[in-house]
Structure 1
Amino acid sequence: MKQFNIAIVGCGNISRMHFDAYLPHPERIRVVAVCDTDAERMNNICKKYEVAQGFTSLEEMIAKAEWEIGVVCTPTNVRRQVVDTLASAGKHVFVEKPFADSYADAQHMVNTCAQAHVSLAVNQNFRYHYPFDVARGLVTDGEIGRVVNVIHQDLMFRQDVGWRTQLKRHAMAVMGVHWFDGFRHLLDDEAVSLVSETRSSPAIQCVGETEANTFVNFKKGALVSYIESFSSPVSKTETFVLGETGAIILNYAGTSLYKLDDRSRPQKQWENPYRGSHKPEATFTGLDLFLTALEQGKESENSGRDNLKTVALLDSAYRSAEERRAVVFNEGVPA
């Protein structure tokens, strides 16, 4: 097993999850450098996590430190510029989600990395932190027959601070990007059409939306209904995957399998090993998947090219809400 040297770009709050994910795995990952335009923030991270080299310039970090992969934890509005710089320097890229603010920006970054012959992957950690991957296996094994309906609700009271509150895209950009990707992963399928409505509650101080209702039709016939709320006094996140012969119920705690011929109790249940304080391990799983693909010379299943279809769903949900119309897809890409 090869050990990879990585550098983290951006020392904000999300970077701490990456350190918590990587430090328990020194045999696989070695964080050798960080950079942030805020020198105090960068120095605090270096001290807290004992990183030898810290920089306030990405170009300086590229020139003066030895590393192979850049982990991008910057705000989305500067991500395109950062990925362009990393690709031109021949660095592989593992980027936080949402991958980009728009489908056009995401496509640009995928093209840039392809032209530079570097690999690009996205930290869609909710494939594991939320048990989508377990449910995918059950669906693939035919445990509930053909999926006909997925009902997902994500209710919470969430007041963000900082740069996120100033963006026009809020609740779905923060959480919907996880769920849209999870639906794709769970169903192993792509969208045919989508319609969405958004609202903003005065209970939350932000520029963008706090509420969203979205319906997505998938190619193999599943209908997904997704409700997001950042203003709910009650917190509840749950997913019902309804098939022709049974159902799968997911939440952060785990997964339950039900059959139509015995509806009184779950046939099987699985605890989620990535729940709660174990969340950082889901980020390590995503990066390790990327590293393994690099070693094998193939494209990772969480590649930027794959994630274009997740960004397409997110971007199209906002476009549907703004234009008050359905968006149609061709092979997961807006037609």
Structure 2
Amino acid sequence: MKQFRIAIVGCGNISRMHFDAYLPHPERIQIVAACDTVPEHVQEARQKYGFAQGFSSLEEMIEGAEWEVAVVCTPTNVRKQVVDTLAAAGKHIFVEKPFADSYQGAQHMVDTCLQADVKLAVNQNFRYHYPFEMARQQVAQGRIGHVAAIVHQDLMFRQDAGWRILQQRHALAIMGIHWFDGFRWILGDEATSLTCTLNSSKAIQCTGETEASITVNFAQGTLVSYVESFSAPRGRTETIILGETGELVLNYKEMSLFDRDNRDTPREQWENPYRGANKPKASFTGLDQLLTAIERGGEPANSGRDNLKTVALLDGSYRSAETLQAVNFREGMPL
């Protein structure tokens, strides 16, 4: 097993999860440097996490440190420039999500990395932090038969601050990107159409939407109904996967299996090993998929090319809400 030298681009809040994810794995990962345009952020991160070199710009870090893979933790709206610079320098890239503000921006990044012959992967950590991977395995094994529908609610009271509240795309860009990817991951299938309605509650200070209602049709006949709220006083996150012979119920903590003979009490129940304080482990899993692809060739399961289809659902939701029309897809890509 090879040890990779990595550098962190951006030392804001989300970077802490990445530092916490990688430091317990020195056999696989050596964090050698980090950069941020705010010098105090770099200094605080160095004091806490102990990496060797800190820089105030990406260009300085490329010139001044030896490393192979970048973990990009910048705000979404500056990632195009960051990815362009990294790809030109021949660095492989693990980027936070959504990895672009739009489908066109995401396609640009994928094409740029392909032309530069560097690998691009996206930290879709909810495939593991939320029990989507557990559900995917049960569905693939036929434990609940063909999936007729998925009903998902993500209700919370969330007041963000800083750059996020100034973005035109808010609640879906923050949380919908997780759930859209999870639906795809569970089903191993791609969307054919969706409709979306958005609203913004005065209870939350932000420029973009706080509420969303989306319906997605998948190629193999599954209907997904998804509601997002950032203004709900009583939080609730639950996914119900309705199969022809059984039902899976997911939340952050666990997954339960019900069937016709076990309607009130689960036939089986599994704890989610990536829940709560174990969330950073999900980011390590994602980065390790990229590192394995670098070693062995091919694309990781969380590649930028795969994630285009998740960004297509996010981007399509905003287009549907704006035009008040359904948005259609072919093999997961927008028409």
Secondary structure at 2:320's aligned position in 1? helix
Q: Kindly report which structure 2 residues correspond to 1:117-132, keeping only aligned pairs within 5 A, or say none.
A: 117-132=117-132
TM superposition shift of 1:265 = 1.8
**Runs of 4 or more consecutive aligned structure 1 residues displaced over 3 Å after TM superposition:** none
Give 1:331's aligned residue. 331
- String of CA shifts for 1:57-77, please: whole Å, max 9, x gaps: 111111110000000000011
In the alignment, is residue 263 of structure 1 matched against residue 263 of structure 2?
Answer: yes
TM superposition shift of 1:23 = 0.6
Structure 1 residue runs without a partner (length 5+): none
TM superposition shift of 1:260 = 2.1
TM norm structure 2: 0.99
Q: Which amino acid aligns with 2:152?
A: H
Give 1:178's aligned residue. 178
Greater shift, 287-296 or 245-254, is seen at 287-296
Q: Kindly report which structure 2 residues correspond to 1:26-45, keeping only aligned pairs within 5 A, or say none.
A: 26-45=26-45
Give 1:18's aligned residue. 18
C-alpha distance in structure 1 between counterparts of 2:66 and 2:75, whole Å: 24
C-alpha distance in structure 2 between counterparts of 1:59 and 1:158, whole Å: 35
Give 1:292's aligned residue. 292
TM superposition shift of 1:124 = 0.1
Paired positions, count: 335
- String of CA shifts for 1:172-228, please: whole Å, max 9, x gaps: 000000000000001110000000000000000000000000000000100000000
Q: Kindly report which structure 2 residues correspond to 1:56-135, keeping only aligned pairs within 5 A, or say none.
A: 56-135=56-135
Give 2:142's aligned residue. 142
C-alpha distance in structure 2 between counterparts of 1:285 and 1:41, whole Å: 26
C-alpha distance in structure 2 between counterparts of 1:287 and 1:255, whole Å: 25
Give 1:314's aligned residue. 314
- String of CA shifts for 1:244-293, please: whole Å, max 9, x gaps: 00000000001111112332321111000111111001100111111112
- String of CA shifts for 1:135-154, please: whole Å, max 9, x gaps: 00000000000000000000
Secondary structure at 1:101's aligned position in 2? coil
C-alpha distance in structure 2 between counterparts of 1:116 and 1:264, whole Å: 55
Give 2:5's aligned residue. 5
C-alpha distance in structure 2 between counterparts of 1:215 and 1:25, whole Å: 40
Q: Kindly report which structure 2 residues correspond to 1:153-168, keeping only aligned pairs within 5 A, or say none.
A: 153-168=153-168
Q: Which amino acid aligns with 2:261?
A: D
Identity between Structure 1 and Structure 2 (%): 68
C-alpha distance in structure 2 between counterparts of 1:35 and 1:55, whole Å: 5
Q: Which amino acid aligns with 2:238?
A: E
C-alpha distance in structure 2 between counterparts of 1:20 and 1:250, whole Å: 26
C-alpha distance in structure 1 between counterparts of 2:238 and 2:261, whole Å: 23
TM norm structure 1: 0.99
